[in-house]
Amino acid sequence: MPVTTSMERDQLELAREIRELVRQKNAVILAHNYQVPEVQEIADHVGDSLGLAVEATKTKADIIVFCGVHFMAETAKILNPEKKVLLPNLAAGCSLADSITPESLDEWKQRYPDHYVVTYINSSAEVKAMSDICCTSANAVSVVRSVPAQKILFTPDRNLGRWVAKQVPEKEVVIYDGCCPVHDVLRGANVKKVRELLPDAVLIAHPECREDIIAMADVVCSTSGMIAAVGRFPERKRFIIATENGILHQLKKRYPDKEFILADGCIGCRLNCPYMKTITLVEVERSLREELFEVEVERDIAERARLAIERMLAVPRDA
């Protein structure tokens, strides 16, 4: 019989306290697939950026506790201006979102004045408000394909933008020069070595990865798409995963008979987002109990950003 450590007992007790607070306060906890396992376990919904944005539009809760990063909590607030949205740790930022500012987007819009602006949801509310439509990795191709323009300015992730441009060759796609450091640090040479060691494995990559890794992949999709993709290979036992290491928790839960290996060949030491790992159970409990770290968005910015997000939500997702 497994022995429960004192730390595990403390976490179980904390998890019970959090769920009781959720009940008392009519709250909902949304957690991204990259969060630490114990935070994923106490969430009402776990998913990718698009899935969580959809859940945010459906909730009847008075309080939304967003276990992710700041732009995600902002998106939830934009879609639910009347609700209280909490981010348990204000240090949960995003390097990709920080790579584009309203000033830099304005400069690019002036450089390409006749281009339709498609902005990845990994961006600030101000940047969303300056965009025509948002997208996520789950629906980026469909969004670009659906927009009523041939000339696109895609911001801010260059790797996702290059992948999208290849899927929609009939459109002219100008790509902003930002990236997710966690995905961009992954090199094709490392992935190739892992593939050579595991020739029977299926390689599933996030579209924020570099082009050479995308070219090697058997499947390219969002994090929730990865979970679904494994089910399309029932006879395969091994999967190489090219994205942030937090996804392994959901993959192992869904497919306990499969083996998942991170693509960096380093037990995920490089595929780790420090921002996604800032939120702990202690911080979730405190944030909910004291209703701390409420996320606010200026009304004018929220209204313009909501239009870009709602246009995105009307487009079916790719994978």
Could you read off the pLDDT of 8-29 as tens digits, one per residue?
778 899 999 999 999 999 999 9
Amino acid letter, 227: I
Would you say 47 and 317 are in contact if contact means Cβ atoms under 8 Å apart?
no
What DSSP designation does 82 have? Answer: T
Is the sign of the CA dihedral 51, 57, 59, 61 positive or negative?
A: positive
Question: Which distant-in-sequence residues (6+ apart) come within 8 Å of 99 by Cβ?
Answer: 156, 178, 179
Write down all domains in the chain, each with its CATH number in brackets: 6-93+276-290 (3.40.50.10800), 96-180+300-313 (3.40.50.10800), 182-262 (3.40.50.10800)
Q: Is the pLDDT of residue 141 over 80?
A: yes
Amino acid letter, 50: L
d(CA 256, CA 209): 26
Strand order in the sheet with 116-120: 133-135, 116-120, 151-155, 172-175
Could you read off the pLDDT of 160-177 as tens digits, one per residue?
999 999 999 999 999 999
Residue 113 banded pLDDT, cuts 50, 70, 90: very high
Nearest to 175 by CA among 257, 262, 111, 223: 111
d(CA 107, CA 117): 13
At 252 the pLDDT is: 97
| Polymer length of the chain | 319
> Taking the complete model, does pTM exceed 0.75, yes or no?
yes
Q: Is the pLDDT of residue 269 over 70?
A: no
Reduce the DSSP state of residue 206 to 3 states and report it: coil
At 319 the pLDDT is: 45
At 8 the pLDDT is: 72
CB burial class (10 A; 0-12, 13-18, 19+) of residue 78?
buried
